[in-house]
Amino acid sequence: MTATAAASAVVPEPAAAVAPEPDGAPDGLWPTTARRTADGSLAVGGVDLRDLAREHGTPAYVVDEADLRGRARTFADAFAAAFAPDRGLAGAEVYYAGKAFLTVAVAGWVHEEGLRLDVATGGELAVAVRAGVPGPALALHGNNKSDAELRAALTHRVGRVVVDSLPEIGRVADLAAAAGVRAPVMVRVTTGVHAGGHEFIATAHEDQKFGLSLAAGAAAEAVAAVLARPELELVGLHSHIGSQILDLAGFEVAARAVLGLRAQVAEQTGYLMPEVDLGGGYGIRYTGAESAPPTPARVATALADVVRRACADLGTPPPRVSVEPGRAVAGPAGLTLYTVGTVKDVRLDDGGARRYVSVDGGMSDNIRPALYGAEYTAALAGRASAADPVTARVVGKHCESGDVVVRHVALPADVADGDLLAVPATGAYGRSMASNYNAMPRPPVLAVRDGRVRVLVRRETVEDLLALDLG
Ligand code: LLP
């Protein structure tokens, strides 16, 4: 088998398809307020993207504030309803996973809509604090938290520190003792469940860096270590099984595993942990070709059923449950707006052709295609076109051939220099994973709502980059 044949056997090429048009559906591809205007341009939040591009330039991250807020609120409401005491459960909290996309404004929005916030570093903690989110509404994660990060968490009285290793337990206890506080902690449990689209983004199988293994006894050991330290309050157990999950079956296995450990600890020590966190990972649409993602109501109902049945089987009262969606809150609310530069036709080995459409951003504003082989789609944003679709690949302007924005998409044959191109579903893990590769300044984050644009994060400049370089 030739190298090319081997590669194509591993990664089958999906057919290039035209992006679905915006339809306002929350389980669609575009932000819910996205519409085509009468003359064919794309408008989001009542803002014509041509006007936005003229005023703010491209590339730009555009976030539909009403959509993001709506998704946050929908999660909060769905979990409150599904886990209500009159349904035999003990209530639920939704933590927004800030790693997906965090700015001061976004932290404020999700908190206003009834969510708490999961932060993974001292930096994310600082953003949440700047937004005015109270410490008790925060959870601090991380497999290698520094003393400074732990001290900051204790100073701000975060609601939970999710401990990820045995040595960390002693460190948190010592820092709490020094600060004269009792630290609320959760133990991150590795259940062995591996879910999600890509190995790099699955976190609960055994051979990886997160959590304490249930099977190997490390989780039980950690629980005992926490209970042995009076400076620590054992809030509960935590499980996160992966990301971009469209099939909810893995959650049942993981939930049963952590609920089982909770029951076992209660039996052995008499201490029934009040909470269990089942993590995030709910998938979204990226191209429109994937199966329908579970709605927040479906996720909440499914998890509530699992917790109810598992606790009945174990004979333990149900815990308060929390979850941590990131992508499903921020992903569909955001798109990236680019301007087309060079357009080039390339002959393919099979005799066909591919139109390479270069845009003014690339792997520095969206690393996911290069890192995970993630698929996206794209559509003309500044005009409609009746031209026939051609097989196209949208690429960036970086100095490497893996700099792909959209691997397979059908674009109108008249796509040309100066056209605006929108890539939907970039709201999560786009800006938050952006880099300055090739000394590219990072794009601004522009919120649109009710016909107005608000700059949440301004465009970086080359001067910003040079200011960090001390020569
Ligand atoms: N909770 C914990 C403990 C997590 O580690 C994560 C994601 C989440 C919640 C939120 O997961 P979500 O609901 O957003 O799937 N950079 C990758 C995703 C990495 C996710 C890491 N942890 C990507 O671009 O697909």
pLDDT at position 422 is: 98
CA of 194 to the centre of ligand 1 (A): 13
pLDDT at position 435 is: 98
Whose tokens are 């035209």? That residue is: 18
What are the mean pLDDT values of the chain's consecutive 10-residue runs (471 residues total)?
Answer: 40 77 94 97 98 98 98 98 97 98 98 98 98 98 98 98 98 98 97 68 67 94 98 98 91 95 98 98 94 94 98 98 98 98 94 95 98 97 97 97 97 98 98 98 99 98 98 96
**Ligand 1 within 6 A of CB of 203:** yes
Whether omega before 332 lies within 30 degrees of 0, making that bond cis, reads no
**Ligand 1 within 6 A of CB of 368:** yes
For the stretch 75-105, pLDDT in tens is: 999 999 999 999 999 999 999 999 999 999 9
Per-residue exposure over 183-219, b if at least 16 CB sit within 10 Å of its own CB, e if not? bbbbbbbbbbbbbbbeeebbbbbeeeebbbbbeeebb
d(CA 69, CA 77) in angstroms, rounded, equals 12
**Ligand 1 within 6 A of CB of 332:** no
Taking a C-beta distance cutoff of 8 angstroms, is the pair 204, 190 a contact? yes
Taking a C-beta distance cutoff of 8 angstroms, is the pair 28, 285 a contact? yes
pLDDT at position 206 is: 73
* 399 in active site: yes
Strand 138-140 with 116-119, pairing:
parallel
**Ligand 1 within 6 A of CB of 281:** yes
Which residues neighbour 110 within 8 Å (Cβ) at sequence distance 6 or greater? 68, 69, 72, 96, 117, 329
What is the value of pTM for the model shown?
0.95
pLDDT at position 14 is: 64
Q: Which of 3, 386, 399, 467 is catalytic?
A: 399
Atom of ligand 1 nearest to the CA of 198: 25
CA of 445 to the centre of ligand 1 (A): 21
Whose tokens are 């930096």? That residue is: 123
Whose tokens are 């009746």? That residue is: 386
**Ligand 1 within 6 A of CB of 118:** yes
pLDDT at position 195 is: 81
Backbone angles phi, psi at 445, to 5 degrees: -105, 120
Which residues neighbour 245 within 8 Å (Cβ) at sequence distance 6 or greater? 195, 196, 197, 251, 281, 282, 283
Residue whose CB lies within 8 A of the most ligand 1 atoms, among 327, 329, 426, 431, for a mutation test: 327
Q: Which domains does the chain have, with CATH numbers?
A: 3-59+332-468 (2.40.37.10), 66-325 (3.20.20.10)
